[in-house]
Amino acid sequence: MPLTIYHNPRCSKSRQTLERIEAAGQSPTVIRYLETPPDVATLRALVQRLGVPVTDLIRFKEALAKELGLAAGDDRSADAWLALLAEHPRLLERPIVDDGERAVIGRPPENVDALL
């Protein structure tokens, strides 16, 4: 299945992950998630394929997270976190690479090798 990368071209890890995918001969679908944010259903599917808690997708050190008063231990439901990510895509950990069955966070970029 073709790869999709949720990409931020300003992020060095995201650029390195995309380069690694292309060096392996793949031409992924590139979604610039800051311009085209994933909706809640897409985020929910990514969390399932990643096999991690939704809070693993949140950049708590991002200035916006601090502005919003967010912390990893906040008592929120998974749906509340997903809605927050859909509303504030800057908080989404990046890059996320998805093959439709499995997904990985490209930190470090070598994580993507599991999908190549």
Per-residue pLDDT tens digits for 23-81: 999 999 999 999 999 999 999 999 999 999 999 999 999 999 999 999 988 999 999 99
Answer with the residue of higher pLDDT: 58 or 1: 58
Catalytic site residue from 2, 5, 11, 80? 11
CATH number of the domain at 67, please.
Answer: 3.40.30.10
Residue 103 tokens read as 């997904």
Q: State the Cα–Cα distance between residues 83 and 61, nearest whole angstrom.
A: 19
Q: What's the confidence (pLDDT) of residue 8?
A: 98
Has residue 1 got a pLDDT over 80? Answer: no
Taking only Cα atoms into account, the Rg of the chain, rounded to an integer number of angstroms, comes to: 14
- Could you tell me the maximum CA-CA distance found in the chain, to the nearest angstrom? 43
Range(s) of the domain holding residue 20: 4-115
How many CB atoms within 10 Å of residue 13?
17
Q: Are 106 and 97 in contact (CB under 8 A)?
A: yes
Is 15 tagged catalytic?
Answer: no
Count how many domains the chain has.
Answer: 1
Please report how many Cα atoms fall inside a 13 Å half-sphere around the Cα of residue 44, on the Cβ side.
8
CA–CA gap between residue 39 and residue 102 (Å, rounded): 18
pTM for the whole thing? Answer: 0.94
Over range 7-35, report the average pLDDT: 98
Pairing of strands 96-98, 103-105: antiparallel
pLDDT of residue 39: 98
Segment 14-26 shows an average pLDDT of 98
